[in-house]
């Protein structure tokens, strides 16, 4: 009888512990980085056919888990807060959508099969993390872009770096900060690309 009662007690304790453990694990959340598309201004085409290569990204930030910088030497990843898709793919898609929607490029080779590109936009995401080492957290985003012609000549190269202050050290606020940072970067990128002098032979080829 004593053994039976002991067994019942152990079962109850085990069940209680299982329930407690389940409650301790937070719900996993997923995010995407998305610029403010209300800032897109429709303008004349600068380039006819543009290929935008998938952006490269530093191996430190290529995963789906959000990255936080806690102090000068320590970084942490957040298992419970992730990007819905890998950040390089996420940001590349946003750049394509923006430059086509604004009219900078008439066609995106990425989305139109059978077209040859006259120009290629390439880039590298150098930094993508939440700077939580001080009482004033920031969303850090840095991307370097390159524009090539069909002969692989570099027509444009520029580094864009944003540091957006956050209200709180929380994932949702970090995503909002990156959204603002990416909006600023793409706005400046398009303005800079529109100022690039294109070679006459390349322009003729694109018509």
Measured in degrees and rounded to the nearest 5, phi and psi for residue 73 equal -125, -5
| Domain encompassing residue 88 | 27-206
pLDDT digits (tens, 9 = 90+) for 135-193: 999 999 999 999 999 888 999 999 999 999 999 999 999 999 999 999 999 999 999 99
Burial code (b: 16+ CB inside 10 Å, e: under 16) for 76-111 equals eeeeebbbeeebbebbbbbbbbbbbebbbbebbbbe
CB atoms closer than 10 angstroms to residue 144: 16
Residue 7, domain member (yes or no): no
Mean of the pLDDT values across residues 87-105?
97
pLDDT of residue 118: 84
Instruction: State what percent of residues in the chain have pLDDT above 70.
Output: 82
pLDDT digits (tens, 9 = 90+) for 69-91: 999 899 999 999 999 999 999 99
Closest-CA residue to 169 (of 76, 34, 51, 56): 76
Predicted model pTM: 0.83
User: For the chain, what is the domain count?
Assistant: 1
d(CA 125, CA 82): 17
Q: Is the model's pLDDT at 206 over the cut of 50?
A: no
Residue 147, domain member (yes or no): yes
Residue 69, domain member (yes or no): yes
Per the prediction, the chain carries an average pLDDT of 88
pLDDT digits (tens, 9 = 90+) for 16-25: 565 444 556 7
Residue 18, domain member (yes or no): no
Residue 87, domain member (yes or no): yes
CA angle 128, 129, 135 (to 5 degrees): 145
Residue 99, domain member (yes or no): yes
Residue 184, domain member (yes or no): yes
CATH number at residue 88: 3.40.50.10610
Residue 52, domain member (yes or no): yes
């Amino acid at each position: 009888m004593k053994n039976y009662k002991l067994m019942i007690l152990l079962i109850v304790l085990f069940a209680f512990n299982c329930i407690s453990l389940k409650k301790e694990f937070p719900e996993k959340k997923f995010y995407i980085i998305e610029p403010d598309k209300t800032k897109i201004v429709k303008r004349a085409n600068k380039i006819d056919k543009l290929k935008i290569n998938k952006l490269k990204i530093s191996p430190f930030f290529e995963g789906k888990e959000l990255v936080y910088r806690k102090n000068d030497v320590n970084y942490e990843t957040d298992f419970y807060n992730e990007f819905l898709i890998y950040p390089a793919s996420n940001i590349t898609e946003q750049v394509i959508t923006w430059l086509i929607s604004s009219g900078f490029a008439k066609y995106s080779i990425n989305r139109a099969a059978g077209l040859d590109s006259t120009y290629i936009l390439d880039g590298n995401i150098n930094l993508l993390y939440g700077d939580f080492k001080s009482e004033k957290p920031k969303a850090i985003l840095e991307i370097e872009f390159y524009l090539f012609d069909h002969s692989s000549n570099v027509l444009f190269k520029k580094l864009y770096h944003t540091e957006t202050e956050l209200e709180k050290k929380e994932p949702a606020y970090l995503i909002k900060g990156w959204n603002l940072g990416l909006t600023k970067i793409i706005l400046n990128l398009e303005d800079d690309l529109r100022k690039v002098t294109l070679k006459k032979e390349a322009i003729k080829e694109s018509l």
